[in-house]
Structure formats: structure tokens, C-alpha cells
Structure 1
Amino acid sequence: MKLTYSGKTKDVYQLEDGHVLLKFKDDVTGEDGVFDPGANTVGLTIEGAGKSGLRMTQYFFEKLAEQQVPTHYIDADLDKVTMTVKPATVFGSGLEVICRFRAVGSFLRRYGKYCKEGRALDAFVEVTLKDDERQDPPISKDALAQLGILTRDEYDILEELTKKISELVKFEMTQKGLDLYDIKLEFGRDSEGNIMLIDEISGGNMRVYQGDKYVEPMELETILFS
């Protein structure tokens, strides 16, 4: 097992059988000690956050498998806080795909002249480049195609999968009296070039509310599995 990458919230290892092992950390993104799923830096460390994130990820990836949604997931070990996945190649240096059901976060900062905080959105999908230096700039379908990062047809697949996955997560939250405001997903290509969901689905990459109260990631896991 060889360490190939140490990320903000996970370490990545190459396994001898060709698969990849993800080791979840207790670090979460944010600024000044405050959690923020859209932040580019590690803001704080929360004991148990890695296991909490993995438990949710395992749950949602197995739900997606039932719906025949393509993902990189193979299996997970909660005791070791690891997940085994298929290898994937990312688009360019990586993309983040956000599905928004409410106007909050960076969407509100950019477009607050035209909407109030919490305004309902119709599963609005936006794509940003993973580029810390440039603060993950949003990018359009045409720009992605012209820069050779992905094709227009691939963008359409990305958007369709994003909405399907996000609606499934939103439904699961609704069953527990929760409201999914937005969720951040990542995608890559498998060995045959097919698009699949990668990374994780956890409280660390979504905003969820219970009424007017924001639900912290680890509290979210507790509610979801209660």
C-alpha cells in the first residue's frame, strides 16, 4: 500500500490489486475555526468526523448502487475509517459540482442583489474548477468544452447525474425532517472513460437545516441514523 496523495480531509493509497484506498481524516474544511463545506482550507479538526463522514458516504453510495448510479465505491471499513474504490481520472485538475436547492453561501454572495437568503432554487447545478489559488472559480459548459476539460455531452451527463444523486440525498433528508440546502459532488472517469461519482457524500460537503437551524455534520449523521 503506497501513499499517493495527502488531501485536506483524506489520504489516498494505491493498493496492489489496482484499487485505491481512501483514509478519512478528522479534519474538515472551514475558516477561523468555523466549518464551511465550500472552503478551500482545513478550518478545524473534529474528533470522529472521519468515521462520521465515512458512515454517511457508505450509506449513500450503497443507496446509489441500488439505483444503478455509477460510482467508484467498492466497500468500506468503519473500524479502520477507510473506503476501497475504483481508480478514477479527474477532469482537468478536478471539478466540483454543486447542486443548490436554496440560495446560501457563495451563490448568495454573488447573486444577493436578486434574491434573499434561503430562497428556493430548482436543483440549480453549477460547476467550479478545483483551484485554490483562484478560489475555485465557477465555469460554464462552453468554457469547459473550449478548454478541453470535458465535452458538452459529458457536461450533460454530469448535470443529469448530479440532479439524480442530489434528489436522492434530499429525499433521505426529508424523511428525517431535514432540508438539504446544497451539496457538493465530484466526478471522474473510470478505466473505460465512463463518468462516475467519486470522493464522498457526507455532512462535510452539504448544508442541511432543521427548520431555521443549521445542522452540524456530526449531528446530521446522528439524526440520519436515529
Structure 2
Amino acid sequence: MAKRRQLYEGKAKVIFEGPEPGTVVQYFKDDATAFNNKKKGTITGKGVLNNRISEYLMLKLADIGIPTHFVRRLNMREQLVREVEIIPIEVVVRNIIAGSLAKRFDMPEGTPLPRSIVEYYYKADELDDPMVSEEHITAFGWATPPDLDEIMSMSLRINDFLTGLFLGIGIRLIDFKLEFGRVWEEEQMRIILADEISPDNCRLWDMNTNEKMDKDRFRRDLGGVEEAYQEVARRLGILPESGPGDMPGSDTMQ
């Protein structure tokens, strides 16, 4: 089997050349990072779980008309996705005060916001992903005003849907990060959801106990990180039957 060409390696995923034109393969790693790569570690089986969780959520979003880059899952750690031109903006949707928002305004974590807040951050690890305004985004040419209108509309729809989905399994969606990309279809540009949706980029709290069920357990050395990811997958009904860890051949490049 020919070795595939690696296109990019990020903190949590590796991107390989795809088998079909206009596609790439997204490989989910067990590597964990926090604070813009200042803290590093491994969460055993994370890549397997995030692959399944993101697949599940992307398909659910596609069902309600959200265009995504997801094509199909290839194996335990890999997805076939559409190749997109990533817009260099991280979109953060916040429903409840937590994390940097709590620190920035000296507010207690867990305080519900009067309405959902959408924030934009420039994707640049070397700059610690600074917060930016719509003025920055349009002035620097990262996206146009119509692009931002579409991104905002999709982000709020995604938030409404995911909030309800997670509430149905006893989880509060505190906040989450989205990334979007551009694709061209018959010379028409379209913005679609890209990257992943998983406990790596969502804050998820148990509805009854407020127990954290996401990467904050790694960031804050709370322990039980693998178990938290497994519990999210279990409640979604997608925990791999042979367990959360690597299955035989799960690391095989296909």
C-alpha cells in the first residue's frame, strides 16, 4: 500500500492527501494540548472517540441543512472530508460563563448569559489566537461582511440544535469553537462547517452535577479525562463496542 502524502499536522489531527479529487483524510490523534500548546499530554483513545463523536454530530447537523466538510468515516481514527480553504477565524459560541470569559470579566463560572454570545479569534498559535472584531476580519480580508453574516447565522443554528441534543442526554453545552471553510461548486463559493465537534472543542457539563466532561479535565489536572470522553460517547450511543481504547488495527493508515 502506497504511503500517503501528509499535507499538515496540527495539535490534534493530521491531514493527508485524499483518495479522490477535492478530498483529504483527517486523522485523529491522542495528543492533547492546552494553553496554545504550552501544556502537552496524551489522552488514551481520544482520537478514536473524537472521530466517532464528530462524525455523529456532523451527520446530525447535515440532517438540519448545515453544510459540512464531512464525507464518511474511513476507520477508527480517520475521516474522509472535503478539502476546504479554511477561514483563519475561530468562532466561539458561549451560552454560560466559563473559561477565559470568566477570567476576563472576573465573573463566576456557571453563570448563564442573558443570550448566547459569539466571539471571533484569529487562528495564530504564535500570537495566542487573539480576539478580533468584525472590523478586523473584514479590514484584513479574512472574510467579507456577507461571509460573516452567513457564519453567524450558521453558528447560532448549530448552537440551538446542539444545545437541545445535549440537553436530551443530560449535558449542558457551555460553549464551543467552530471553524469554517470555503469550497467552490461550479464557480460559486460556498461556506461550510469544517474541523471537528468533540469534547476537545466543546465545554460539556453534566446537567445535574456540573461535572466537567471535556478537555477542561486535562487543562485543569482534574483527572478522569478518558472516562469523561467515554461518557459523552456513551450517552450519545456511539461508544465503540470493543471499548474506548484502540481496537486492533485502529492506527492502520487506510
**1:115-169 C-alpha deviation (Å, 9 max, x unpaired):** 4322112221111011112111111111111111111111111111111112211
Q: Residue in 2 aligned with 1:54?
A: 51
Structure 2: 5+ residue stretches without partners: 214-227, 239-254
Shift of 1:109: 1.4
User: What's the secondary structure of 1:158's corresponding residue?
Assistant: helix
**Does the 8 A contact of 1:55 with 1:78 survive in 2?**
no
Report the more deviating stretch, 212-221 or 120-129: 212-221
The alignment yields a C-alpha RMSD, in angstroms, of 1.5
**Does the 8 A contact of 1:12 with 1:21 survive in 2?**
yes
**Does the 8 A contact of 2:18 with 2:80 survive in 1?**
no
Q: Residue in 2 aligned with 1:35?
A: none
Q: Residue in 1 aligned with 2:172?
A: 179
CA distance in 2, matches of 1:128, 1:90: 14
CA distance in 1, matches of 2:195, 2:92: 14
Q: Tell me the amino acid that sits aligned with residue 112 of structure 2.
A: A
**Does the 8 A contact of 1:51 with 1:78 survive in 2?**
no
**Alignment TM-score, normalising by the size of structure 2:** 0.80
Q: Residue in 2 aligned with 1:212?
A: 210
CA distance in 2, matches of 1:2, 1:193: 27
Q: Residue in 2 aligned with 1:160?
A: 153
**1:9-30 C-alpha deviation (Å, 9 max, x unpaired):** 1110112422110011111222
**Alignment TM-score, normalising by the size of structure 1:** 0.89
Structure 1: 5+ residue stretches without partners: 31-38
Matching of residues 1-226 of structure 1 within 5 Å: 1-18=4-21, 19-30=23-34, 39-41=35-37, 43-79=40-76, 81-91=77-87, 94-112=88-106, 115-121=107-113, 122-191=115-184, 192-210=188-206, 211-215=209-213, 216-225=228-237
Which runs of 4 or more aligned residues in structure 1 lie more than 2 Å from their structure 2 counterparts after TM superposition? 216-219
CA distance in 2, matches of 1:98, 1:84: 25
**1:51-106 C-alpha deviation (Å, 9 max, x unpaired):** 10011111011111111111111001343x10001110022xx2111110111111
Q: Identity rate of aligned residues, in percent?
A: 30
CA distance in 2, matches of 1:163, 1:124: 9
